[in-house]
Amino acid sequence: MIQLRTPVTFANQVYTTFPVQPPCEEALRRFTAITRAGGGIETAWIAFAAAQAGWPTEAVRKIRSSDFAQIVKAYRENNHER
């Protein structure tokens, strides 16, 4: 679990932590589809994170860049990146 330095509020829901766990198939599928289609790596990671956490994509887009960097780092360090 990653503690967000700045909580995210979206659609009357407040998110304070981001779950880091082995990726689900949907998260991997979204990441792969975007990168294969030539989409940006940032867009691919946002789609991955939204699917992984079960959050709306727009909520993930509101995560501070420093917090999001920690999320990506956690997945990379645990060999969850494709």
pLDDT tens digit sequence for 8-55: 999 999 999 999 989 889 999 999 999 999 999 999 999 999 999 999
Domain range for 68: 2-77
- 21: which DSSP letter? -
Domain count along the chain: 1
Residue 7 lies in a domain: yes
Q: Can you tell me the mean pLDDT for 63-73?
A: 96
pTM equals 0.86
Residue 82 lies in a domain: no
Residue 52 lies in a domain: yes
d(CA 2, CA 67): 8
Residue 10 lies in a domain: yes
Residue written as token pair 């975007």:
34
